[in-house]
Chains A and B, each alone.
Chain A
Amino acid sequence: MFARHAVSARAIHFVYQPDTAKPPVSGETSKQNMFMAINSAIHSALEKDDSAIIFGEDVAFGGVFRCTLGLKDKFGADRVFNTPLCEQGIAGFGIGAAAAGATAIAEMQFADYMFPAFDQIVNEAAKYRYRSGGLFECGKLTIRSPCSAVGHGAVYHSQSPEAYFAHTPGLKVVVPRGPIAAKGLLLSCIRDPDPCIFLEPKVLYRTAEEMVPKTEYTIPLGKAQVLAPGNQVTLIGWGTQVHVLLEVAKMAKEQLKVSCEVIDLQTILPWDKDTVCQSVKKTGRVIVAHEAPLTCGFGAELAATIQQECFLNLEAPVTRVTGFDTPFPHIFEPFYLPTKWRCLEAVKKIVNF
């Protein structure tokens, strides 16, 4: 008799690994989840900068993921407001406000719905400074959007679109792995002189809890972070996948006696080639894992650059463990994702190459 697994319709595929390292800034901390940490970053931005505004669908009452809770009451309805339901309008409006001198934080309710805004983001925001010879720019624009798998999101509430935007010079693309990272990275994006896209893995909004510094702080963009040192296999990921890889590193140590170094890329564009290559030159074996589909996923860029820069150090081809080349399915999510089992199997194969 086959026993059917009693799996909750809303199960998640990973265990959140909170940051235990020294926080980016000293001082009092409090237990916060990721939407609270994001709220805190936006709060800092609005408090310190009179021109700062945050807007998007349902932002005024607190947002469908509570990231803007309490901000309208604190800063006023002219600074924290709903827009009509129109992503191309949100992006265009944000670009114009930023170009006119306001710090514009635009929320797109789901990354899956960013595409109507693709023209404004890729053809306008990304090229504003370049095409004008520097006369005009929209660096004060930050677009933030929930992304990635959430257990039941299916085709249109689970996408990870970082690769589309990574292919656009002029944008910066950032993905946090948890509350501490989110607060610091988001504040960096808001204050960055170039337009930024901040993709927030939605499954982490509530699941991810850490002791987050109460004061404001920034985490530099363009810098990857080595989370768990190792010397046999380099594992690279971002967002939710970082936690899968941290668990894989533990499992590899226990079951395979293999030492893995886990890197959180943090910034997808511009990405930290030096940290990645330094690690690869040490280990000689690298696995990149991401939820987005295989073909032309960001792993392809990493693989191409790694083999170019570290060819002679490689002991095995660069492996990618990713979502399959399908749209993100509903009921098949457990099979679709780059699970710890697929990643562990990849570690096993790569050390035996």
Chain B
Amino acid sequence: MAAFYSKALNLKAFRAVQSHLRLFCDAPKFPGAKTTWTQTLKISEAKQEDNLPVYRVLDKQGVVIDSSHEPKLSSEVLRKMYKSMTLLNQMDNILYESQRQGRISFYMTNYGEEAVQIGSIAALNNDDLVFAQYREAGVLVYRGAPIDFFMNQCYGNNLDVGRGKQMPVHYGNKDLHFVTLSSPLTTQLPQASGAAYAFKRAKNGKVVITYFGDGAASEGDFHAALNFAATLECPVIFFCRNNGYAISTPTHEQYRGDGIASRAPGYGMGAIRCDGNDLLAVYNTVKLARKYCSENNKPILVEAMTYRVGHHSTSDDSTAYRPKEEISMWSTESPVGKFRRYLETKGLWSEEEEKSWAKDVRKQILDAFNKAEKVPKPAWKEMFEGVYKDLTPALKEQVKEMESHLKSYGAHYPLDNFK
């Protein structure tokens, strides 16, 4: 009897060992995936409890929750950050109004996303290359672009470094390492992957950051960019401003997954999701992201959760598709206000300074604005420049044609406004 039982137990043990051996030595050898076998049939589905949590440093009142996460920033830097956010707000106020008055043709504001922009760029080196979408003017403000720079581009005047070629807010600045924007969404993403690859080969220590929204992440170029960056190991930060809307389309009509961050594992990439309305959280996140990219020569996906307080652009009235209460709630929850309370508790800002700064910066902006309005547009011949490095014979002929036409019909063209 004992012999029988012992044999049975041995058989069970043998089967267990056999099963373990199968697991380790009999692993699937398919080139397409490194994984194990299963005899269970089930559909693998994401659960809401597995959604990536939102990293924050400050609570709603602007109080640091865990002091070990408070970045050690100097008072100059902290004040520069706040001043940048408020300058951005004031510039948006004035330029939005100027479009309404017919003085510039178009404008896009940044309300609600000040911390996203300034927090992220402050965490990078000055020569890290930026590929932006269109709602990142704060990046240029922080890096030191003078107010004139923005005004001249919006007016398309002879001082515009872009030479009047594009609509307002399509900024570009070589000295500040900010690649000129283009209207087609998401096209900058695979370009960022390529630039990062070139930097890696050049061993220049730079990383690339590229900004895009929750809507832009639906484009094919998003998929292309992340897949390339992952497979070719490019040091690029993919920074998504998830602000809840793509013009009128809310996120639940844009995607069904867990935001944008959840897509990273699909590419074999890491991700961090942070509170985009918490400047310190954005700062810490991008600081870590940069370290990760730079040390590993690998890409990373950052998703900053935020809310687009303003309309999509001057061509949009967002009350047509969202309740005023929603807008005012997020407006009150302002990242600028939260950061201001943080600074005040540190004794770095005050009500008096707020008043004098607001007055001062408004004056600076108005002065720049009025100045830019008076600058003539570039000479009309510049329309033909920059198509190629040099004018082709065909273009030279077209210039001559137009020259001749203007000699007879110049009175019908706004030549007086042009240099």
Contact = CB atoms under 8 A, between A and B. Distances in A.
B201 A270 contact: no
Interface in A95-120: 95-102, 104, 116, 119-120
A101 B195 CA distance: 8
Contact of B224 (A86, A123, A127): A86
Contacts, number: 165
Given A139-B389, A193-B389, A120 B190 contact: yes
B190 A88 contact: yes
Contacts of A92: 187, 189-191, 193-194, 221, 224-225
Interface stretch (A65-73, A129-137, A249-257, A336-344): A129-137
A28 interface: no
B4 to A, nearest CB: 60
A128 B232 CA distance: 24
Contacts of B208: 100
A130 B228 contact: no
B191 A95 contact: yes
B50 to A, nearest CB: 27
A315 interface: no
Interface string B194-208: 111111011000001
B195 to A, nearest CB: 4
Given A88-B224, A94-B194, A96-B194, A130 B386 contact: yes
Interface core residue of B165, B227, B388 (most chain A CB under 10 Å): B388
Contact of A136 (B179, B198, B225, B231): B179
Given A92-B190, A100-B129, A124-B184, A131 B165 contact: yes
A136 B174 contact: yes
Contacts of A205: none
A270 B392 contact: yes
Interface residues of B, number: 49
B180 interface: yes
B161 A53 contact: no
A86 B291 CA distance: 29
B220 interface: yes
B111 to A, nearest CB: 26
Interface string B140-180: 00000000000000000000111111100010111000011
Contact of A93 (B161, B193, B389, B392): B193
Interface bin, chain A = 35 or more
Contacts of A99: 179, 191, 194-195
Nearest to B184: A123
Contacts of A222: 392-393
Given A84-B228, A116-B220, A123-B184, A135 B194 contact: no
Nearest to A169: B387
Given A127-B182, A135-B174, A120 B187 contact: yes
Interface in A222-280: 222, 270, 273-274
B201 A133 contact: no
A99 B202 CA distance: 13
B224 A53 contact: no
B261 interface: no
Given A99-B179, A131-B170, A83 B228 contact: yes
Given A93-B228, A133-B163, A273 B394 contact: yes
Contact of B386 (A102, A134, A172, A274): A134
A97 B195 contact: yes
B224 A100 contact: no
B388 A170 contact: yes
A198 interface: no
A96 B162 contact: no
B160 A133 contact: yes
Interface core residue of B202, B224, B232 (most chain A CB under 10 Å): B224
Contacts of B231: 83-84
Interface core residue of A94, A104, A124, A273 (most chain B CB under 10 Å): A124
A51 interface: yes
B225 A89 contact: yes
Contacts of A217: none
A210 interface: no
Given A96-B191, A133-B172, A102 B198 contact: yes
Interface string B38-73: 000000000000000000000000000000000000
Contacts of B221: 88-89, 92, 119-120
Contacts of A169: 387
A131 B166 contact: yes
Contacts of A83: 228, 231-232
Nearest to A79: B201
A81 interface: yes
A194 interface: yes
Interface in B288-303: none
B44 to A, nearest CB: 23
A136 B172 contact: yes
Nearest to A130: B386
B286 interface: no
A51 B192 CA distance: 17
A274 B166 CA distance: 33
Contacts of A136: 172, 174, 179-180
Contacts of B191: 92-93, 95-96, 99, 124
Contacts of A172: 388
B392 A100 contact: no
Interface in A30-63: 51, 53
Contacts of A273: 393-394
8 contacts: A91-B190, A96-B191, A97-B198, A100-B202, A102-B201, A130-B165, A133-B162, A134-B163
Interface of A: 51, 53, 78-79, 81, 83-84, 86, 88-89, 91-102, 104, 116, 119-120, 123-124, 127-137, 139, 169-170, 172, 193-194, 222, 270, 273-274
The 10 A-B pairs at the shortest CB distance, nearest first, are namely: A92-B190, A96-B194, A89-B224, A96-B191, A133-B163, A132-B180, A100-B195, A97-B194, A93-B194, A102-B198
Given A92-B193, A132-B172, 19 more contacts: A53-B198, A88-B190, A89-B193, A89-B227, A96-B190, A96-B195, A99-B179, A99-B191, A101-B198, A102-B197, A102-B201, A104-B198, A123-B184, A129-B389, A131-B162, A133-B162, A133-B163, A139-B389, A194-B388
